Amino acid sequence: MLDENQPLFSGAASEVITPFTETGQVDLSALSNEIAFLVSNGITGLFINGLASEALMMSDQDRVLAAKTIIDTNANQVPVMGNIIRNSTAEALKDVEAYAALGANAIAITPPLIYKFTEGGLFDYFNSIASASPLPVYIYNAPETGNKLSPKLVAKLFVTNEAFFGYKDSTQNIIELQTLLSLIPSGRRFELMAGSDAQISTTMMLGGLGVISLITVVFPELIVSLVDACKRKDWGHATELQFKVLKVREALKTGPFMSAYKFVSAELGRPLGCMKQSLSEVNDKEKEAIKSQLADEKML
């Protein structure tokens, strides 16, 4: 049962990267190994079917299959947040039902993609899904969708609907985050999680509870150490680690979308399969650049 006095998500949580076979199927064995590795290395929560999980390349059936594999492997060791990436409210509500049936602990709602929604349309989209959800709801503010949520809109959703528990902030805009925090009523449950590895320390300085991280998939100990330093308010050490994270993040952004993460995981003996067709892998020149950058940081 959910403890109302404790945050559901905090610490160093991880977005899950989906491994695929050469023929484009979800690699269930590699996915199970990824979850076991993350949980055994201090990860406090799992965020599934996100943008970095290549979910936009996956069929509905594959999203459900990946979610089931993750939830079954995790076996209630850490909370699992199922992400919803839709443009249609009706399709999003089907995802809510699926995640609840599979045993997820919460859902996250990502803004709709490409089509420009009005503030009113975005409010109705998020509020309708949250109102129908039997699970706690988190807002994932992902500007790359083309529909960045304003601080005023996020605050309005939290004031209007008690189903909202928390907020995953990927805006990388510290002014807007501070503005949002000033609009949340005192005492209102608001679990703030950084949505970018670049903003862990600054988010936690403002009262954030942790991060939903991508780097954790490759280097969990680095992010766990940074979050722990922030919890201790050892800001000097946290700043040093945050600078290191920025350099590691830069290396992992080399080459085509997400391909460096899979390449480095394979180099570390923890293969995460192929990119989903027809996304590209890193080339030889990019591989050497990645290895050189990470070697400079003593990570490879």
Per-residue pLDDT tens for 30-46? 999 999 999 999 999 99
Per-residue pLDDT tens for 195-204? 999 999 999 9
Q: Which CATH superfamily is domain 11-234 in?
A: Aldolase class I (3.20.20.70)
Per-residue pLDDT tens for 188-246? 999 999 999 999 999 999 999 999 999 999 999 999 999 999 999 999 999 999 999 99
Q: What is the pLDDT of residue 1?
A: 45
- Cβ atoms of 247 and 298 closer than 8 Å: no
286 exposure class (CB count in 10 Å sphere: 0-12, 13-18, 19+): middle
- Cβ atoms of 138 and 109 closer than 8 Å: yes
Domain boundaries, given as residue ranges, for the chain: 11-234
What type of residue sits at position 261?
A: Y
